[in-house]
Structure 1
Amino acid sequence: MTQQPFSRPGAVDLSGLASTTPAQDAPFGGPADAAPAQGRSAGSYTVEVDEQIFQSVLEASMTAPVVLVFYSASRAPESVTYARDVSTVVEEYDGRFLVGLVDIDKNPQIAQALQVPQVPLLYILLDGRPVTQPIPGALNLEELRTVFQQLGQQLTTQGIGGRHKPNALGGAVASEDGDEPAMDPRYAPAQDALERGDIDAAVAEYEKLIASNPADSEAAAGLAMAKVL
């Protein structure tokens, strides 16, 4: 499947959305008809979003993309499973994305602000705004991995390299504006090989990374660059 490219102009600015309504907790990881818990972490890079922390989630998107997943256990029980699957895939990217899970029954103001017509629905936010068309329907895990691999490649192409810090904001939060993301040590051998002009070694290192994690879009982009060199 194909995915809309990131496009910042013309998006809806949500920064003025008020945070007024406290949310009630429900256990994450329970039965299929149970909703994820609101306002707390469900993983290193997953947070259940309520109206009290929505502004903080928007601010997190100023450095790295935030994925909002809208679900409703009462209207579409399968959307709860879908939300968990998105979280599973996002966690594989080690901070490249932060996923915010939004129960539209408990947080109607957020759903109204983004004009959510159905659940499940997925939005990608960057700089506090939606930057792709919403992705409707419940994709399976492999389809989700394809979508996020494409998104990761687009990020690399556009020079967007920020990462979220784990386990902050009840889940994750982006590093401060202007901070350069630290180099992931996994890519150091390939980078070192490129710097000393050993292109074959760099290709081999990137191929090792991709073999261990086919969803690693940074390694895929690095491999493509090394092959061009």
Structure 2
Amino acid sequence: MSVPGSRQPSPLPSMSLRGAVDLSALKARATATPPQHATHPTADTAGGARADGTSAPAPEGQASQALAVDEASFPELVQLSARVPVLVLLWAQYSPESQRVRDELVAQLAGYGGRIAYSTADIEAFPQLAQALAIQAVPTAVAFLKGQPIPLFQGAAAPAQVSQLLDELLRVAEANGVTGTVDGGPTPEQAEPPLPPRLQEAYDALENGDYAGAEEALTKELAEYPADHEAKAMLAQVHLMARVEKLGQDHAERARKAAAESPDDLEAQLTVADLDVVGGHVEDAFSRIVGFISRNFGPERETARVRLLELFEVIGATDPRVSSARQQLARVLF
């Protein structure tokens, strides 16, 4: 989802949790009014930041705190990510490597002065999160920014690589108005100017799962402002999310089987490409459609090309994966 208050496409290579990542039930609790006496998530180490953004005193010499997130406390994490980016490390007791990375990140994130909150999720205690994010192995690090998941790394990444990823995460956060710290800072209301009325209408409709209402509002916006890139990106996301929402598990499995057995089955290839984008396998989705275009001609080729361009809008023109796929598309077309 493009970020409220911006008239340019968000640089986030991700989407709303609703429809795109199957965390809708968890997010629903995040948007509800929190209980008056809600308990805070437990911590892997004492002291540091709570999920509501306040600080607990940390013992001298302790770098920072990692919040242990479970299904009950996940909504607080979603709320916190509206003000400060949150790194979540998915780990498991059976994996010594994931435990080591979990502990090493405490010290590494301490150098960021509270500009990135740190949480951990034991996939054995919170399997719903691992399933929703399609986690294949531990350790896996995922950032959340304004409730949206952003894959960071899997496995034991080198400290220098982790630092580069964290620096980039902060740049993306700043570009989207998320500049708070775990100890305080700008609230979401202070950081975000309001959306234009029709985009706000579309945003609200999408949050309620009303894809038709979101599409109607965005279509009106584009009729009046054809060059509104944010509206175009939002509309592409609405189309994708509506298509995926209609898919049942059986349909998705049949589509994958058909795509594997019949490379020239347009509907199956486009369906699997949608699923790949939603699952974070963006390069696979782009390569699949470019491959279809290279093998086919006529109306089906044009249909595939148009769908690919729409998926480019979903991911964002500045994403290097889009730039690479555009080059591949140009080679097969010309």
- Which residue number in structure 2 is paired with residue 136 of structure 1? 154
Cα distance between partner residues in 1 of 2:100 and 2:82: 28
The answer to which structure has the higher helix fraction is 2
CA distance in 1, matches of 2:43, 2:15: 37
Q: CA deviation at 1:70?
A: 0.4
Q: Highest CA radius of gyration, 1 or 2?
A: 2
Q: Write the mapping of 1:114-153 to structure 2, written as runs, cut at 5 A.
A: 114-130=133-149, 132-153=150-171
Asked if 1:178 corresponds to 2:195, the answer is no
Count of aligned positions: 156
Equivalent residues in 2 for 1:85-124, closer than 5 Å? 85-124=104-143
Quick check: 41-50 or 142-151, which moved more? Answer: 41-50
User: CA deviation digits over 1:113-145, x for unaligned, max 9?
Assistant: 222111000111111111x33521111323212
Checking the alignment, whether the CA contact within 8 Å between 2:21 and 2:132 is kept in structure 1 is: no
Report matched runs for 1:191-210 at 5 Å: none
Identity level (%): 25
- For 1:176 and 1:148, locate their aligned partners in 2 and report how far apart those are by CA, in whole Å: 21
Q: Relative to 1, partners in 2 of residues 1:175 and 1:83: Cα closer, same or farther, differing over 3 Å? A: farther
**2:195 alignment counterpart:** none
CA-to-aligned-CA distance 1:185-212 (integer Å, 9 cap, x gap): xxxxxxxxxxxxxxxxxxxxxxxxxxxx
RMSD of aligned alpha carbons: 3.5
Q: Per-residue deviation at 1:45?
A: 5.4
Does residue 160 in structure 1 map to residue 177 in structure 2? yes
Deviation of 1:6 after TM superposition, in Å, equals: 2.9
TM-score, normalised by the number of residues in structure 2: 0.40
Structure 2 distance, partners of 1:103, 1:175, is 30
- Deviation of 1:152 (Å): 2.5
Tell me the TM-score normalised to structure 1 length. Answer: 0.56
List per-residue Cα deviations over 1:158-204 (Å, max 9, x = no partner): 253422333xxxxxx88532135xxxxxxxxxxxxxxxxxxxxxxxx
Between the aligned partners of 2:147 and 2:83, the Cα distance in structure 1 is: 10
Instruction: Flag structure 1 segments of 5+ consecutive residues without an equivalent.
Output: 20-24, 30-38, 167-172, 181-229
**1:59 maps onto 2:76 in alignment:** no
Letter of the structure 2 residue corresponding to residue 165 of structure 1: V
CA separation in 2, counterparts of 1:26 and 1:90?
Answer: 15
Q: Tell me the residue number matched to 2:12.
A: 6
Tell me how far apart the structure 2 counterparts of residues 95 and 143 of structure 1 sit (CA, whole Å): 20
Maintained 8 Å contact 1:65/1:124: yes
CA distances 1:75-134 after superposition (whole Å, capped 9, x unpaired): x2111110122222222111221111111111112212222111000111111111x335
1:46: which partner in 2? 66
Task: Give the CA deviation at 1:15.
Answer: 5.0
Gaps of 5+ in 2: 1-10, 31-41, 192-334
CA distance 1:174–1:73, shift in 2 (3 Å): farther
Give the secondary structure class of the aligned counterpart of 2:171: helix
